[in-house]
């Protein structure tokens, strides 16, 4: 059997991610064992060869991202999966993929850091790293699934965005979402939207400019493509001292993402125009939203939320709107304030932004904890 058949599955998040990658067209995986991301590598090691793909365990995460970049230039859709420490090691390579416009997907299954931290326990401490991890000016595309179903749909979306914009895309998962089991509905293949990179026409020479997203040749296709992480012109030729060439390149690379925030930044909204209290959440933490909204309503407090399915580029407009409606915005996160600051910035003082933070032992922020904070901020407590 090759592809997973359409139907209803009871999958682990990692499994959903791996199967989605195959359906999205991924044919190369390189990775290094790390908790809690190893299951993705194990699943793909078994499944990719069955569809003619290569799954390969390399010596470290520097090699993982390097091999993924090489495979992508060889024409394959390619992916790696890791967690905090490995994600740190990959940062230079992610910057290289950005600078060379190499489509690829990097899954970071977040655990509690810093450093080795609590390897088996959930955390959401890599949010800012996923945005600013590599050096220099760059634009990150980071997706945040909150269910096993979204491990499936957002993995496909990650490949689509990577191919469409020729850029690395990070699927920022977490230990809870990647390890739990839930129902996933796999639609028929023809119902899935799959985007493939635009290939050049014979005679094309500009693979690094002239257009917002230039066409991408593969090595061996006869285009004599020169790929470099140094500043280069639209033909791939290095210009390491020319201010204009650098400006033109790096500004375009950033703008090709920033100019499409509305398309890339996907979110779920509820009651944002008519609420007393707003909530902004993502990943495992956002799973508490659904219960809380109902429970608060029963107490007479109208809650609206923005649930971020894309963390970066940051959907400023949606947050601003929420801030206009709600006097207060609560931001629960399993870290010591990361997206909080971004929400505060986007709110531009229109609402009071209040952080709710909890770290350690993989303990989630419970609906009860959220509700009591909501009632407290709404003046209903005690």
Partner 1 sequence: MAETFSVKKYLRDLRLPFCPGCGAFTVMDAFLRAVYELGYKDLSKFVFCSGIGCSSWIPSPYFMADSIHTLHGRSIPVATGVKLMRPDLNVVVFGGDGDIVGIGLSHFVHAARRNLDVLVIMVNNMVYGMTGGQVAPTTPFGAKTTTTPYGSFEYPLDAARLAVTAGANYVARWTTAHRNELKEAIKKALMLKGFRFIEAVSQCPTAFGRRVGFKNAAEMVRWFKENSIPLEQAEKLNEEDLTAKIIVGEFVQRQRPTLTETVYIKIKEAQKNGQN
Closest C-alpha among 314, 353, 307 to residue 330: 353
Looking only at residues 132 through 171 of this chain, which bind partner 1 when binding is defined by CB under 8 A? none
State which of residues 7, 10, 33, 50 lies at the interface with partner 1 (CB under 8 A): 50
Q: Which residues pair with 306 in a beta bridge?
A: 269, 280
CB atoms near residue 262 (< 10 Å): 11
Residue 33 contacts partner 1 per CB under 8 A: no
Dist CA 205 CA 184 (whole Å)? 43
Q: Which residues are CB-neighbours of 144 under 8 A, at least 6 positions away?
A: 154, 172, 173, 282, 283, 308, 309, 310, 311
Tokens (6 digits) for 299: 């107490």
**Which residue, 94 or 331, is less far from partner 1 as judged by CB?**
94
Nearer to partner 1, 81 or 265 (CB): 81
Name residues whose C-beta falls within 8 Å of residue 46's C-beta, 6 or more positions apart in sequence: none
Give the 3-state secondary structure of residue 142.
Answer: strand
Q: Does 6 interact with partner 1 (rule: CB under 8 A)?
A: no
Binding to partner 1 by residue 215, rule CB under 8 A?
Answer: no
The stretch near partner 1 (CB under 8 A) out of 32-40, 73-81, 256-264, 318-326 is 73-81
What's the token pair of residue 209? Answer: 């400019």
Cα separation, 90 vs 126, whole angstroms:
13
Q: Report the residue from 6, 25, 75, 117 that binds partner 1 according to the rule CB under 8 A.
A: 75
Cβ 133 vs Cβ 313: under 8 Å: no
Task: Using CB under 8 A, pick the residue from 226, 255, 297, 300 that binds partner 1.
Answer: 226
Cβ neighbourhood burial of 192 (10 Å; 0-12, 13-18, 19+): middle
197 is a contact residue toward partner 1 (CB under 8 A): no
From the list 86, 145, 209, 236, which residue makes contact with partner 1 (rule: CB under 8 A)?
Answer: 236
54 near partner 1, rule: CB under 8 A: yes
CB of 256 to partner 1, least distance (A): 21
Nearer to partner 1, 158 or 186 (CB): 186
Interaction of residue 49 with partner 1, rule CB under 8 A: yes
> Which 315-374 residues touch partner 1, going by CB under 8 A?
none
Report the interface residues with partner 1, using CB under 8 A. 1-2, 4, 27-28, 30, 46-47, 49-54, 56, 58-60, 62-76, 78, 92-93, 96, 218-220, 222-230, 236-238
């Amino acid at each position: 059997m090759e592809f997973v058949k359409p139907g209803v599955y009871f999958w682990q998040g990692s499994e959903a991610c791996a199967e989605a990658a195959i359906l999205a067209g991924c044919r190369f995986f390189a990775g290094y064992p790390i908790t809690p991301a190893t299951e993705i590598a194990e699943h793909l090691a078994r499944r990719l060869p069955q569809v003619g793909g290569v799954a390969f365990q390399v010596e470290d995460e520097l090699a993982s991202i390097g091999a993924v970049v090489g495979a992508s230039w060889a024409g394959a859709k390619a992916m790696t999966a890791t967690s905090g420490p490995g994600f740190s090691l990959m940062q230079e390579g992610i910057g290289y993929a950005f600078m060379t416009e190499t489509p690829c997907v990097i899954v970071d299954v977040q655990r509690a850091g810093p450093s080795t931290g609590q390897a088996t326990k959930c955390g959401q401490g890599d949010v800012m790293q996923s945005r600013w991890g590599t050096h220099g000016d760059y634009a990150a595309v980071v997706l945040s699934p909150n269910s096993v179903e979204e491990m499936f749909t957002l993995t496909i979306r990650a490949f689509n965005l990577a191919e469409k914009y020729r850029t690395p895309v990070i699927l920022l998962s977490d230990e809870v979402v990647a390890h739990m089991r839930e129902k996933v509905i796999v639609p028929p293949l023809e119902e899935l939207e799959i985007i493939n990179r635009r290939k050049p026409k014979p005679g094309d020479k500009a693979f690094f400019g002239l257009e917002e997203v230039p066409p991408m040749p593969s090595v061996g296709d006869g285009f004599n493509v020169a790929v470099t992480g140094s500043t280069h012109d639209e033909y791939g030729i290095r210009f390491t001292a020319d201010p204009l060439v650098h400006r033109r390149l790096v500004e375009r690379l950033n703008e090709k993402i920033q100019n499409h925030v509305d398309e890339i930044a996907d979110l779920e909204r509820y009651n944002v125009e008519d609420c007393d209290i707003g909530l902004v959440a993502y990943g495992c933490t956002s799973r508490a939203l659904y219960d809380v909204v109902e429970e608060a309503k029963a107490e007479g407090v109208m809650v609206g939320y923005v649930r971020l399915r894309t963390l970066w580029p940051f959907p400023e407009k949606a947050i601003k709107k929420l801030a206009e409606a709600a006097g207060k915005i609560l931001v629960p996160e399993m870290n010591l304030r990361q997206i909080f600051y971004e929400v505060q910035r986007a709110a531009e003082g229109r609402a009071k932004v209040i952080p709710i933070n909890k770290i350690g032992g993989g303990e989630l922020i419970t609906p009860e904890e959220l509700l009591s904070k909501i009632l407290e901020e709404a003046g209903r407590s005690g």
